[in-house]
Amino acid sequence: MKRQLPVFILLTFFVSLCLVGGSLTMAADMSGNPAQVLEIEGRVLAIDIERSVLTIRDQDRQRHNIHSGMDTIFVGFNSLNELGKKQEVKLWYQVDADGLKAIKIEKKLDVGCG
């Protein structure tokens, strides 16, 4: 009986190690290759509420159409309705098959005398 106990412990350890290793491999395969998150700052040129598309111009004067979705995080406002033209924003986005997809949109504070 004494000899069977170390064998049982080793066998249990080996089986648990295989299960944990297999589940870690499965989790890595399911996560896939995450798309790179890019960042841009610019000024709002247009807002299409129906399509949830925000058009901005960056510091290099390039225009970008960025799609927002249900999972887009808004900071400093609650919806695209609250943004106005010429509003300064900072965006984090990913490039996907449909174009640029907003991950997070931050409304920059208005600076000036009020």
Q: Could you tell me if 71 and 15 lie in one domain? A: no
Q: Could you tell me if 29 and 42 lie in one domain? A: no
Q: Could you tell me if 18 and 42 lie in one domain? A: no
Tally of domains in the chain: 2
Are 40 and 91 in contact, with CB atoms under 8 Å apart?
yes
**Residue 93 domain boundaries:** 38-107
Tens-binned pLDDT, residue by residue, of the chain (114 aa): 555 656 666 666 665 655 555 444 444 444 445 679 999 999 999 999 999 999 999 999 999 999 999 999 999 999 999 998 999 999 999 998 889 999 999 998 876 665
Domain for residue 94, yes or no? yes
User: What span, in angstroms and rounded, lies between the C-alpha atoms of 73 and 30?
Assistant: 24
Residue 71: left (phi > 0), alpha (psi -120 to 50), or beta? alpha
Q: Report helix, strand and coil shares of the chain as percent, to nearest 5.
A: 25, 40, 35
Q: CA torsion angle for 109, 112, 113, 114 (degrees, to 10)?
A: -40
- 102 backbone dihedrals φ, ψ, rounded to 5°: -70, 130
Q: Which pTM value belongs to this model?
A: 0.66
Domain for residue 113, yes or no? no
Residue 70 C-beta-side C-alpha neighbours within 13 Å: 0
DSSP class of residue 77 equals S
User: What span, in angstroms and rounded, lies between the C-alpha atoms of 66 and 31?
Assistant: 24
